Amino acid sequence: MNSTKKLTIDNYLDSHYIHRSNWLRAAVLGANDGIISISSLAIGVAAASSAREPIVLATVAGLVAGALSMAAGEYVSVSSQTDTEKADIEREIQELKEMPEEELKILAQIYEKRGLKKETAMQVAIELTEKDALGTHIRDELGINEISQANPIQAAIASGTAFTVGGLLPLLVILFAPVKGMEYWLYGFTSFFLIILGAIAAKTGGSSIRKAIVRITIWGTLAMGLSALVGYIFGVRV
């Protein structure tokens, strides 16, 4: 018996990765930011402290503030994008009412640029306009579709949750690692966490695992190194 799922217009995108792009971007950004920013903060404090309490206090405060800030920032950012999309859609509605012939010509030119013959492009534009004029212009003229359309709440939850999970990892290191040489423990474990994150993100998104690991590790190392340097230069031993 063939267990292969029959490909239809309703499920042909199920095996593709593009429909994950919105929440995956927010989740990877949140987790990456959580790991790197909390580790960098802790490394900076650890470089200037001989006690565990100040490191834990700074890390917990940074984790809470960072998660809330990340979620709020993602929500505001994506909401701005959706507001812009809605404004463009309203403008398109008005243009279809005021100058439908010009809009039809523009649509035909879009299809012509994509490779259709002039007559075919016009015929396609006419038929699609008769079927769903607004939907056609939103998709083909503005480039807005169900996959690319942003979801502010989904992005905020994914980003905030991912930041919290990412930030908890270095916090565990801080709670259990020796205070002496804490920054080195943090650097080692954070590099490991970043490698795991890069591999998971690449696997989920269908991209190169090696490229993702190299990219995320290099920038993470740079951030942690600069944070430790600041801690050594400006820190006061506490």
| φ, ψ for residue 179, nearest 5 deg | -65, -40
- What token pair was written down for 108? 């035909």
Q: What is the pLDDT of residues 156-173, one digit of tens each?
A: 888 889 899 999 999 999
pTM: 0.69
For the chain, the 3-state helix, strand and coil shares in percent, each to the nearest 5, are 80, 0, 20
Quote the CA–CA distance of 92 and 164 in Å, as a whole number.
Answer: 40
In a domain, 4, yes or no: no
Of 185 and 238, more confident = 185
Q: Closest Cα to residue 118, out of 128, 107, 127, 103?
A: 107
Confidence (pLDDT) at 175: 93
Element at 151 (helix H, strand E): none
- Distance, CA of 34 to CA of 63 (rounded, Å): 7
Residue 136 and residue 188: Cα distance in Å, rounded?
Answer: 52
Q: Which residue, among 197, 171, 210, 217, has the nearest Cα to 56 in the 3D structure?
A: 171
Does some domain include residue 106?
yes
Question: What pLDDT is attached to residue 4?
Answer: 56
Assess whether pLDDT exceeds 70 at residue 154: yes
Inside any domain, residue 11:
no
In a domain, 66, yes or no: yes
**pLDDT of 235:** 55
CA distance linking residue 198 with residue 192, whole number of Å: 10
Domain extent at residue 202: 22-234
Domains of the chain: total: 1
